[in-house]
Amino acid sequence: MVTTILFGLYCAGVAIALTLIEYFTGIDKSGAGSWFGFLGTPFFILFIWMAMKERKQDDYGGTITYGQCIGTGTLVGLFAGIVMAIFMYVYFTAINPGFVDFTLQKQETAMQTKQMSAEQVQVAMSMAKTWFVPIGVVGALLGDVIFALIISLIAGAFMKTKEGESEIKAV
């Protein structure tokens, strides 16, 4: 369990660092902001793989099943998601509260170009303003868990060992 918490914190740390870099450099308000967050994906994959590998050696004696791989990776995603959900709440409410207004303004402009009526735009914007932070927070949590599950399903196929098989051979 400690391994999954530790690697979850590593994943969240990278995501937080990238989010703060976006904020302090102004990338979050440019076109590059849409792809910049994906820079954390290789780290997320790497940390899940490393957590599986560490648990295989330390917790399971050199063998690990497919289910244990999936459980390990999903727990890494859960702990990363919990930390990210807390951070995103703080980010949206205290660090960069203007981000919500900026994003909603972009959405309002997009709605107007789709020739929605002023009343439709106003209703949509009031709902979006009410739900932006809660959806962002829950999305951070669920997104990390679902992404970790997908990565675990793939990585577990390569990491698993057959019963009785161990990478560590006695000399």
Answer yes or no: are the C-beta atoms of 40 and 77 closer than 8 Å.
no
The CA distance from 13 to 22, in Å, is: 14
Domain region containing 50: 2-96+136-159
> What does the pLDDT read at residue 161?
84
Residue 110 lies in a domain: no
Confidence at residue 103, expressed as pLDDT on a 0 to 100 scale = 78
The pLDDT, as a whole number, for residue 156 is 92
16 falls within a domain? yes
* Tens-binned pLDDT, residue by residue, of the chain (171 aa): 889 999 999 999 999 999 899 889 888 777 666 777 788 899 999 999 999 999 999 888 888 899 999 999 999 999 999 999 999 999 988 998 888 778 777 777 777 777 777 777 777 777 777 777 788 888 889 999 999 999 999 999 998 887 655 555 544
> What is the structure's pLDDT at 115?
73
Instruction: Flag whether 127 is in a domain.
Output: no
**Residue 105 belongs to a domain:** no
- Is 50 a domain residue? yes
Per-residue pLDDT, 153: 95
| Structural domain contains residue 114 | no
Classify residue 101: in a domain, yes or no.
no
User: How many domains are there within the chain?
Assistant: 1
Tell me what pLDDT residue 167 has.
Answer: 56
Q: Among residues 44, 73, 40, 76, which one has the least CA distance to residue 157?
A: 73
Q: Under 8 Å CB-to-CB from 74, ≥6 apart: which residues?
A: 145, 148, 149, 152
pTM, rounded to two decimals: 0.82
Query: Residue 159 to residues 1, 24, 66, 81: CA-CA distances in angstroms?
Result: 18, 38, 8, 23
